[in-house]
Chains A and B, each alone.
Chain A
């Protein structure tokens, strides 16, 4: 391997120097040409934007001989800085993955049987359009469901759903971060960033920032904790990498973080440690808050959380002493418990009363940058109400995102109306939603399912037709503004031409739109769309700059305190930061976070908790060969004490059973978890045989997770499942 590469590199260098480097070719690389590659070596460096997770890091693709050989970090991006993580580096293997979807396919066997017929794009489009039209004729356009997840080309998919006339777009937030978004919006009218770089005291509940990589937070935390000696207090039932790096780790009793936060607020108010000037100038409801938290003493919280009262008092004092350079970090995946919204609200309130708003080292409202818009023909608003009845059950939730689990319940019951077609873009509901058996039931009752993806996800495996999307390195995408403390604009441009018969999502959408009589709404090319976006970027020669650099950020340092003037109106009902929220109360929720103790697992069961490692985020990444090398199979973490009690030995297999399913997993007996919890990693135990590295290897958490959600946001509650563990 090494020899071949060396030769090729020498050849490429030589070929780069002289156009007619035929002699060199004959010496070095005969086999290179036998494979039919061009004599004019295609060597380039192309700036682009990573798509392996939602961070959108800037990368420079190194192309050698027409192949993407390496992705280097692009230091011009102030969010991703000068790094590219393992996933980002492994994106090359997404392109050259033998398991990739290589042409459109129509199912010929039973759903999930894995029998496929490769078809032409015309045949696939015709088939899907006919099926969609049938469903529309029989049940109306609202009988189609459009599921998608975050991505630069997601907009085209959503627009097709809306133009088709369906109100039923459902997106990932309620399986991820809806509760944290809603809680901070309810308090501040916006979701801020957290200035970990400049903070002196950071508290984190679970948000395992050293394994769940978020830019720039992960790097900033390393900087603040390791280099500038900021203090990190970390609560997690599991000893994660973040726990290991923290100054103090508390293996908090699961689901009781809210008690810890309320007790901190209690101490800070009781000891008069809050920022009185800030509270008076910018907030409402402080008196109600002070009265409300009187009941939540540190001694009470010790019983709930198992964190000693003396530590809670000390942490509250240290935290308020460090203010405003102190913050309770919000986290991203906030789909844990049924009280998740109120837990996040309490964090927001704690942050507010110490006055860290819009301060270095505190919370900072995101700065934005303008971007042009391509003006396309508007469609009529869908007439039907949403099938998840979001208005009725979750009046404060984001309407455009929908509420995933409630939606599944309603689709299964056929009420308020039937949904018979399921269109999916870039998402794997089979693994993203809890209770896979229920998702399979939802699949069964569909008349038609189509999936657009780069690979054969478990969802695609159960589809009737799959449309192969080109990978990000093979596409040009819309321009993305990344709001933040230091906002930036990123651009993803095609690095290499598609190596298989795949299309970018826009062209797939256009193929369907044409046959559905919706072409007028998609009468543009990606180049036209991007040109329109470039036009209003605050950059001279925007198109040239973005093509050359892939990213643009304002020069100079970020500014703080723009909202800190008494005339500033927050986007809340009162125009102030709402410690007590009338809007919540009017909607039938608690205006201040009220604690209810979580139900503990029965003595013969464990609470199942989830998390991530640095090299896997999404379910599809375990099938990337460069990442799979680090973990070929997921396992079940269990503390040695219960393991001994149950006669379970390290490395053997156990069955893990909940009320909805059962899986078999290898055991990891480890001190690094509370005795009342077990842990497993996401993304294994695939049903799709075209995820060949992880097909039937390990287990999917979705099989055993039970359905539960947060009452206010509708966010899935993934840590509310109790499981029985027994030797297999």
Chain B
């Protein structure tokens, strides 16, 4: 029997982000990310002159691209992509050359000095594989991120992308990023 095709993605409703950092700490705990490294983060944009001001937040992490440049440039095949779209690093094959860090348009990867390998967001594949959502998605007070399967017409993200305007970051790279920011 053929496996059902899946394509995981995140829809992000940045307006609801309050910059509380819950997602960042949840990721640290869930994935054992060392102090000083971050697999997800929140961009801040503060503009204007008192008292006409605005302040916007935008959570970001690996975009788990359709055609990931990090995977293309990896000389050993350590950076690889699952059939469901999740981009991972095979630590045993990573030689720490860091080409992928340069190739990533989103600066989503970091080098771990202690182990000599590159690491990044796994979209909590270990949680996803047992049917849970990624830790950043779950812990958020305002539920900014919506996780789902684009191949599933019944999914919430399928509906959101069909009915709402959105943008992706750095589309010109041809990477086909899979973090969809609602407008």
Contacts and interface: CB of A to CB of B under 8 A. Distances in A.
Nearest to B42: A630
B117 A222 contact: no
Bin chain B's interface residue count.
Answer: 35 or more
A222 B18 CA distance: 9
Contacts of B34: 1
A626 B35 contact: yes
Contacts of B131: none
B142 A244 contact: no
A47 B46 CA distance: 39
A675 B50 contact: yes
Interface string A609-638: 000001100000000011101100000000
A445 B13 CA distance: 56
A222 B13 CA distance: 12
Interface in B27-69: 28-36, 46, 48-51, 53-57
A69 interface: yes
Nearest to A640: B50
B91 A2 contact: yes
B59 to A, nearest CB: 13
Given A6-B91, A672-B53, A615 B21 contact: yes
Interface string A58-84: 000000000001111100000001111
A461 B34 CA distance: 30
Contact of A84 (B26, B91, B115): B26
The interface centre, meaning the residue of A2, A9, A72, A615 with most chain B CB atoms within 10 A of its CB, is A2
B31 to A, nearest CB: 7
A89 B142 contact: no
B80 to A, nearest CB: 15
Contact of A614 (B18, B28, B117): B18
Contacts of A672: 46, 50, 53, 55
Contact of B25 (A3, A86, A639): A86
B28 A626 contact: yes
B16 interface: yes
A5 B31 contact: yes
Interface stretch (B98-106, B133-141, B153-161, B171-179): B133-141
Contact of A625 (B35, B126, B135): B35
A245 B35 contact: no
A671 interface: yes
The interface centre, meaning the residue of B18, B30, B114, B135 with most chain A CB atoms within 10 A of its CB, is B18
A86 B50 CA distance: 30
B16 to A, nearest CB: 5
A646 interface: no
Nearest to A218: B141
Interface string A180-224: 000000000000000000000000000000110100001100100
A189 to B, nearest CB: 32
A331 B91 CA distance: 49
Contacts of A71: 29
A85 interface: yes
B157 to A, nearest CB: 17
A324 to B, nearest CB: 26
A651 to B, nearest CB: 16
A259 B132 CA distance: 51
Bin chain A's interface residue count.
Answer: 35 or more
Contact of B22 (A6, A70, A89, A640): A89
A355 interface: no
Contacts of A83: 22, 139-141, 143
Contacts of A239: 50-51, 53, 55
Contacts of B141: 81, 83, 85, 213, 218-219, 222
The interface centre, meaning the residue of B24, B54, B141 with most chain A CB atoms within 10 A of its CB, is B141
A678 to B, nearest CB: 14
B19 interface: yes
B15 interface: yes
Given A1-B32, A1-B112, A244 B55 contact: yes
A84 B140 CA distance: 7
Contacts of B22: 83-86, 88-89, 614
A629 B28 CA distance: 11
Nearest to B18: A210
Given A84-B139, A85-B22, A3 B126 contact: no
A90 B25 contact: yes
Nearest to A81: B141
Nearest to A629: B35
Nearest to A672: B53
Contacts of B26: 70, 84, 89
Contacts of B115: 1-4
A83 B18 CA distance: 14
B50 A89 contact: no
Contacts of A614: 18-22
A79 B13 CA distance: 23
A241 interface: yes
Contacts of B51: 239, 249, 251
A243 B48 CA distance: 14
A693 B91 CA distance: 32
A64 to B, nearest CB: 10
Interface string A242-265: 011100010100000000000000
Contacts of B143: 83
Given A2-B32, A72-B138, 8 more contacts: A73-B139, A86-B20, A243-B53, A244-B54, A249-B51, A626-B25, A626-B29, A627-B25
26 contacts: A1-B32, A1-B115, A2-B32, A3-B117, A4-B32, A4-B115, A6-B91, A71-B29, A72-B139, A83-B140, A86-B21, A86-B25, A89-B26, A89-B28, A90-B25, A211-B20, A218-B141, A226-B15, A241-B18, A245-B15, A614-B19, A614-B21, A614-B22, A626-B29, A629-B35, A672-B53
Interface of A: 1-6, 9, 69-73, 81-86, 88-90, 92, 210-211, 213, 218-219, 222, 226, 239, 241, 243-245, 249, 251, 614-615, 625-627, 629-630, 639-640, 671-675
Q: Sorted from nearest, which 6 A-B pairs have the closest CB atoms?
A: A614-B20, A244-B55, A89-B25, A5-B32, A86-B21, A222-B142
